[in-house]
């Protein structure tokens, strides 16, 4: 596997981020970078006494993956103390706020988790992270990654982060027994079939049709319903400059979202994604739409993981209406400007970018390696399917907006606010109007 020809870049990309990167006026951004001192090189700095690694991986599966990479790091760097600065809160809801204030106050960790795509661009524009071109060259990393992914971590031809994985957002996890009890033959393939199935679960089983957790899981559901209802091309078009969020097609998708929301758990807002996903394998809920980090949680060994078996305790399918499309996101690690233990950070990035590091991390995390040369034998069950889909000729790509690929921080927050209001007022017209505004104000 090692050294094989890098995977051809998937043909269908959102195109949005790379285009946007190219399109943003050089003057405005250049000025910002000069003022903030960004654009520095990635040499110099020799404090390797420790490394503080910032993420939001505290739960089963994700924390286990991080622990596996930490062990590899410690083996390779016995003199460097690893400080795990993870902050709980699915999809970084808490961590990102803490990180923003640390960066603002120039107290950065040595490396932090950031999503490839628009989210990373925000850090670049704010002059908060360093270029990693020579790091990539010195470690032979350019050929190790798909071209399309390199574009998503680049600005003006410079690389800015080290991707460690590829996650899939558009996954439906379901309890086969509850589907049987409800007389549902198989996983719903369209949004219309999904709504019919939710109705059947409610009418015939007394179980929760669709489990939901903290508010961000409704945002996650929204991106899946938009993709499933609009189709891939129209979904991808929503994130391009001047996108039309006021169309009847978007209204229809939001109406579907409102209908689907009627079958979710009202009391679930207090739990994070783990509680919502667990409800499926515990036989309390029929369906959950969640990224494949749920797989790491389900199958990880006890006491941390749930020790469940795919096909027996749970099954999976692409979220309704999205088969043939990989709604992707990628966790990547950065080198913040002013990292106090810069050499420690570089040593960490080496592990994060290595084949060994990624193959230790991803099977536990429930993701596939960002590198193209991972050891396929390690990816079994769902992960074998995921690798197959990711590399399948003709697979379409869509970027997850909630997990940083398509939406920058402003639009991300504005959409979250709109969804929060919708959860209160259930008003589709107001939701659409707020999403139109969010797109207008996104800076696209």
Which residues fall within 8 angstroms of residue 279, CB to CB, at 6 or more apart? 208, 211, 265, 285, 288
Helix (H/G/I), strand (E/B), else coil: 240 = coil
| Shortest reach from residue 153's CB to ligand GAL, in Å | 14
Q: Compute the distance between CA of residue 127 and CA of residue 141 in angstroms, rounded to an integer.
A: 23
Q: Which is nearer to ligand GAL, 60 or 320 (CB)?
A: 60
Q: Are strands 331-333 and 111-115 parallel, antiparallel or unpaired?
A: antiparallel
| Interface with ligand GAL (CB under 6 A) | 56-57, 62, 90-92, 115, 167, 273, 291, 293, 329, 331, 403
| Shortest reach from residue 171's CB to ligand GAL, in Å | 12
| Shortest reach from residue 177's CB to ligand GAL, in Å | 26
- Strand runs (DSSP E) across 199-309, as ranges? 208-210, 285-289
Q: Compute the distance between CA of residue 108 and CA of residue 341 in angstroms, rounded to an integer.
A: 10
Q: Compute the distance between CA of residue 289 and CA of residue 294 in angstroms, rounded to an integer.
A: 9
| Shortest reach from residue 154's CB to ligand GAL, in Å | 19
Question: What would the DSSP string read from start to end of 228-291?
Answer: HHH-HHHHHHTTSTT---SSHHHHHHHHHHHHHHTTB-GGGGGS-HHHHHHHHHTTSEEEEE--
Q: Which is nearer to ligand GAL, 235 or 295 (CB)?
A: 295
Please choose, from the candidates 254, 255, 404, the residue with its C-alpha nearest in 3D space to the C-alpha of residue 327: 404
| Shortest reach from residue 53's CB to ligand GAL, in Å | 14
Q: Which is nearer to ligand GAL, 91 or 111 (CB)?
A: 91
| Shortest reach from residue 57's CB to ligand GAL, in Å | 6
Tokens of 65: 């993956």
| Shortest reach from residue 420's CB to ligand GAL, in Å | 18
| Shortest reach from residue 390's CB to ligand GAL, in Å | 16
Q: Compute the distance between CA of residue 308 and CA of residue 186 in angstroms, rounded to an integer.
A: 20
- For the chain, helix, strand, coil in percent to 5 are 50, 15, 40
Q: Which is nearer to ligand GAL, 72 or 331 (CB)?
A: 331
Tokens of 123: 């850090």
Q: Which is nearer to ligand GAL, 136 or 273 (CB)?
A: 273
Q: Which is nearer to ligand GAL, 331 or 414 (CB)?
A: 331
Q: Which is nearer to ligand GAL, 257 or 295 (CB)?
A: 295
Contact 300, 363 (CB under 8 A): no
| Shortest reach from residue 272's CB to ligand GAL, in Å | 8
- Indicate left, alpha or beta for 89 from its phi (over 0: left) and psi (-120 to 50: alpha): left
Contact 198, 287 (CB under 8 A): yes
Contact 49, 344 (CB under 8 A): yes
Q: Which is nearer to ligand GAL, 332 or 354 (CB)?
A: 332
Helix (H/G/I), strand (E/B), else coil: 366 = coil
Q: Compute the distance between CA of residue 56 and CA of residue 64 in angstroms, rounded to an integer.
A: 12
Q: Which is nearer to ligand GAL, 127 or 328 (CB)?
A: 328
């Amino acid at each position: 596997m090692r050294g094989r020809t890098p995977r051809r870049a998937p043909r269908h990309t959102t195109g949005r981020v790379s285009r946007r990167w190219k399109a943003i006026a050089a003057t405005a951004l250049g000025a910002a970078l000069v003022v903030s001192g960004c654009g520095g090189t990635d040499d110099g700095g020799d404090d390797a006494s420790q490394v503080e690694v910032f993420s939001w991986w505290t739960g089963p599966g994700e924390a286990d993956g991080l622990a596996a990479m930490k062990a590899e790091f410690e083996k390779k760097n016995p003199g460097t103390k690893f400080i795990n600065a993870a902050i709980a809160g699915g999809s970084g809801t808490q961590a990102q706020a803490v990180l923003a204030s640390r960066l603002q106050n120039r107290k950065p960790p040595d490396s932090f988790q950031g999503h490839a795509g628009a989210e990373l661009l925000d850090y670049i524009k704010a002059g908060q992270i360093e270029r990693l071109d020579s790091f990539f060259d010195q470690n032979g990393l350019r050929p190790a990654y798909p071209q399309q992914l390199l574009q998503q971590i680049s600005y003006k031809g410079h690389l800015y982060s080290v991707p460690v994985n590829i996650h899939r957002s558009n996954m439906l996890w379901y309890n086969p027994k509850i589907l049987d009890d409800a007389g549902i033959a198989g996983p719903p393939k369209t949004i219309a079939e999904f709504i019919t199935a939710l109705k059947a679960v409610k009418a015939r089983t007394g179980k929760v049709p669709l489990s939901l957790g903290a508010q961000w899981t409704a945002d996650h559901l929204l991106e899946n319903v938009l993709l499933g209802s609009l189709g891939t091309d129209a979904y991808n078009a929503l994130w391009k400059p001047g996108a039309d969020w006021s169309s009847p097609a978007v209204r229809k998708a939001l109406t579907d979202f409102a209908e689907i929301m009627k079958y979710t758990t009202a009391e679930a807002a207090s739990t994070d994604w783990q509680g919502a996903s667990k409800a499926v394998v515990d036989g309390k809920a029929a369906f959950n739409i969640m990224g494949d980090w749920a797989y790491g949680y389900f199958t990880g060994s006890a006491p941390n993981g749930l020790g469940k078996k795919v096909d027996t305790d749970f099954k999976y399918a692409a979220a309704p209406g999205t088969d043939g499309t990989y709604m992707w996101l990628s966790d990547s690690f950065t080198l913040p400007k002013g990292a106090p233990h810069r050499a420690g950070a570089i040593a960490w990035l080496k592990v994060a970018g290595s084949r060994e590091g990624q193959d230790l991390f991803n099977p536990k995390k429930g993701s596939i390696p960002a590198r193209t040369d991972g050891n396929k034998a390690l990816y079994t069950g769902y992960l074998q399917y995921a690798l197959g889909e990711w590399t399948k000729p003709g697979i379409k790509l869509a970027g997850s907006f909630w997990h940083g690929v398509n939406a920058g921080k402003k639009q991300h927050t504005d959409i979250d606010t709109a969804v929060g209001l919708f959860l209160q007022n259930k008003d589709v017209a107001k939701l659409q109007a707020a999403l139109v505004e969010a797109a207008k104000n996104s800076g696209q």
